[in-house]
Amino acid sequence: MAEALWTSQDIAAATGGKLAGRPFAASGVSIDTRTLEPGDLFVALGGVRDGHEFVEQAMAKGAVGALASRQVFGSAVMIDDPFKALERLGIAARERASTTRRGAVTGSVGKTSVTQAIAAGLSLAGRAHASVNSYNNHIGVPLTLARMPRDTERAIFEIGMNHAGEIGPLSRMVQPHAVAVTNVGPVHVENFPDGETGVATAKAEIFEGLSRGGVAVLNADDPWFSLLRDAAVKAGAEVRTFGRGEGCDARLIDVRGRAQGAVIEARFNGEDLEVPILQSGAHWGLNSLAVLLMLEALDVELADGLAALASFEPLAGRGAERCVRLAGGGFTLVDESYNANPVSMAAAIATLGARSTAGRRIAALTDMLELGAEAPAYHAALAQPLAQAGVDLVFCAGPLMKSLWDALPPTRRGGYAETAAALAPRVAQVAEPGDVVMVKGSNGSKAGAIAAALTALDVRSGEAG
């Protein structure tokens, strides 16, 4: 029988709490009854709805106990503050897994995909643990730590932010042995009076928790490389670089598209490599090199890293592709609907332009959020990369995307609507066999509604399976 992740006695000791009810042993930790698994500890966090209201439902779904600050249904470890208790539980998990090699990833673009690709490599090398989805904030990071088994050999954590001062405490909580900053761009800039400088400085907080002598994997092509490098060196890090320049530890030579994915040509620690990947985006050239450097820093053999990259599929909403079959043939849907900012939007547009297709290249774009006063200009500026990429039709949704719509020549205009939901049927009407249709926008601007409408066109969706 597998060892319990947490016993009620362990939880009480870690959090300073006191058991009320029968002792229990938990196999997991949950904060959400919608994803709770039988055997989980349920943490009754506050929020829009008080987690204590869901404890009875959690028990009905198989939770064995709760972390709670007031009397609840079933067994519970009673504490003053469930959120602080979750943090303490995460720190206790880190401390008891004293031999675990830990890594952390941040960046303006690509951190979730890079984190998950690293996780794929770690899992080939031994007992691994990783963030799920985008659990990268003040709740997601301690939750990921609290879920880490004591026999974990290697672990990778994603750390994100919306404001200054958020990454530092999370990095100190994880205490990573290696960190990566994928890049810095105009993301969440409305929360930074000094713009991208503030964003870069906030990303540099990742070094605050880095073990002395730990590895910092940095993008030498990034405009903010010098700021990040200086901060890493000041923190006592060994800096390892990826980029296109000759001096990089992992140097990107070329990215060649193929029928499914791409082949990366690179020079890694002086050795020539050809790396086949399932990702089609050109930005995956640099992403892959960041992955390999992080895996190296976490004591994973290069062969395992290459194998992980070769089999790592695009994540849902982050470049995942599918053929949507129509009566007369199929078109390719590229779903980039999870998030967007000027950097990732430009990369996705360039990737669309590089694709060979029998039909048209179509982009369906929704608002990029949290860009502050310059937001209209950032949107209008997308007209240039769309032209350079030879995109045939552009559909726009949202008040900010109206700036792009106005900047497009009439020949490239596919359609405009105020919302993604209103635009979706218009895009669906136009898609034809042979086309490649890319959908991209910020999660908050509901780009996923367009992807869902296009997926629903598939004549197979009505078939019994």
Residues 24 and 44 in one domain: yes
**pLDDT at residue 463 greater than cutoff 50:** no
Residues 251 and 300 in one domain: yes
> For residue 357, what pLDDT is reported?
87
Q: What is the dihedral angle through the alpha carbons of 266, 271, 276, 280, rounded to the nearest 10 degrees?
A: -20
pLDDT in tens, 419-439: 999 999 999 999 999 999 999
Residue 16, domain CATH: 3.40.1390.10
- pLDDT class for 3, splitting at 50, 70, 90? confident
Closest listed residue to residue 395, CA positions, set 376, 367, 356, 359: 367
Residues 117 and 237 in one domain: yes
Is residue 159 domain-resident?
A: yes
Residues 152 and 273 in one domain: yes
> For residue 69, what pLDDT is reported?
96
Q: Which residues of 132-148 are buried (b: 16+ CB within 10 A; e: fewer)?
A: eebbbbbbbbbbbbbbb
| Contact criterion met (CB below 8 Å) for 393 and 362 | yes
Domain boundary residue among 80, 114, 144? Answer: 80
- Structure token digits, residue 272: 């020539």
Q: DSSP letter at 224?
A: T
**pLDDT at residue 271 greater than cutoff 80:** yes
pLDDT in tens, 143-166: 999 999 999 999 999 999 989 999
**pLDDT at residue 51 greater than cutoff 60:** yes
Residue 432, domain CATH: 3.90.190.20
Residues 231 and 261 in one domain: yes
Residues contacting residue 35 through CB under 8 Å, at least 6 positions apart? none
Sign of CA dihedral 122, 124, 127, 128: positive
Domain boundary residue among 311, 328, 349? Answer: 311
Is residue 103 domain-resident?
A: yes
Is residue 85 domain-resident?
A: no
Residue 254, domain CATH: 3.40.1190.10
Is residue 91 domain-resident?
A: no
Residues 18 and 105 in one domain: no
pLDDT in tens, 201-249: 999 999 999 998 999 999 999 999 999 999 999 999 999 999 999 999 9
Residues 118 and 152 in one domain: yes
- pLDDT class for 2, splitting at 50, 70, 90? low
Residues 394 and 413 in one domain: yes
- DSSP assignment of 140-179 equals HHHHHHHT--TT-SEEEEE---SSTTSHHHHHHHH--SEE
Q: What is the mean pLDDT of residues 371-395?
A: 95
Q: Which domain holds residue 188?
A: 97-311
Is residue 86 domain-resident?
A: no
Q: What is the dihedral angle through the alpha carbons of 144, 147, 151, 156, rounded to the nearest 10 degrees?
A: -10
Closest listed residue to residue 252, CA positions, set 238, 241, 261: 241
Residues 141 and 261 in one domain: yes
Is residue 465 domain-resident?
A: no
Is residue 115 domain-resident?
A: yes
Domain boundary residue among 281, 311, 341? Answer: 311
Question: Into how many domains does the chain fold?
Answer: 3
Secondary structure of residue 347 in the 3-state scheme:
helix
Residues 330 and 258 in one domain: no
- The type of residue at 210 is L
- pLDDT class for 285, splitting at 50, 70, 90? very high
Is residue 92 domain-resident?
A: no
pLDDT in tens, 24-36: 999 999 999 999 9
Element (DSSP H or E) covering residue 111: helix 111-125
Residues 64 and 116 in one domain: no
Residues 47 and 143 in one domain: no
- pLDDT class for 129, splitting at 50, 70, 90? very high
